[in-house]
Amino acid sequence: MAGPAFRAAAVRVRVPATSANLGPGFDALGLALGLYDDVVVRVAESGLHIDLAGEGADTLPRDEDHLLVRSLRTAFDLLGGQPRGLEVVCANRIPHGRGLGSSSAAICAGIMAARAVTTGGEARLDDAALLELATEIEGHPDNVAACLLGGFTLAWMEGGAARAIRMTPAESIVPVVFVPAKPLLTETARGLLPRTVPHVDAAANAGRAALLVEALTRRPELLLPATEDRLHQEYRAPAMEESVALVNRLRSDGVPAVISGAGPTVLALAEGDAADKIARLAGEHWTANRLTLDGPGACVLPLTRGDADDPGDAGGASP
């Protein structure tokens, strides 16, 4: 059986940062944020060349160990075969190890780029298959669902396969992220979680997670009670004491605030003009950024002149 054919032209993929959990929606809810990584991929005659700029440029590998490249390779296998060579250019704006979905962004960028450079790629790997593949690589679907679909997502596993639905957040909601200087490994944060929790806490979280769907989409005035969590944030406090303290301080001031993903970034969900005031509440150890909500999720963008050398020209907020 002959392998796939590849497009001669480069393709450009943009992927958003994401915030998972959102308080009570542990491993299920996700929100796509207006902070982006851009990737340009071109099939070459031979070899592998990676050019990195921005976040992780000094620390990420420039070989087959790069998560984006591993995701490309995995997708190419499903699409029927590997290209002769690859040229990859990355403009990274999503902070690494901060709970903003940088690994999910790399995975989604890789598999979408592989599909885009493969002739007939969408027929061989449809959107549902993309979600399943991204979940298989990442290990859980909450961040990759929000990255691929954009907006506000609810993801779950059914019969061993990843599933997700997308909802549209209320337009008045403005995310503000407080990013600390030091990263935190997701494995470290997850390792602090207990094997069991009190039934009363599980019941409370179920109710709050259900309320959060209504609050994020139609009734933002309910976001403070809707973002209350009893399942993971306090258990992870020993690994991010300052983050949990900031969450508690913001919430005591009436601001809906949560740990973003596994932390240590803090996400506040402001309404309209309150975002600028909230951003000023951070101390000197935080970089506060008012972002937008991302709508389309991961997408293939038109390749403009110079993008193959510098995909960062397209802009995007940067913390």
Q: Which residues line the annotated binding site?
A: 95-105
Q: What are the C-alpha distances in Å from 56 to residues 63, 65, 94, 130?
A: 14, 14, 9, 25
The annotation places the binding site for ATP at 95-105
What the block records as the tokens of 62 is 């420039």
Instruction: Give the closest residue to 212 by CA, choosing from 247, 175, 167.
Output: 167
β-pairing, 47-54 with 85-92?
parallel
What the block records as the tokens of 151 is 């907006």
**DSSP characters for 55-69?**
TTTTTS-SSTTSHHH
Instruction: Give the closest residue to 283 by CA, choosing from 238, 243, 231.
Output: 243
305 CB neighbour count, 10 Å cutoff? 7
- Cα(50)–Cα(34) distance, rounded to whole angstroms? 25
Q: Which residues pair with 37 in a beta bridge?
A: 15
Q: Which residues pair with 80 in a beta bridge?
A: none
**DSSP characters for 126-175?**
-HHHHHHHHHHHHSSSHHHHHHHH-SEEEEEEETTEEEEEEEPPPTTEEE
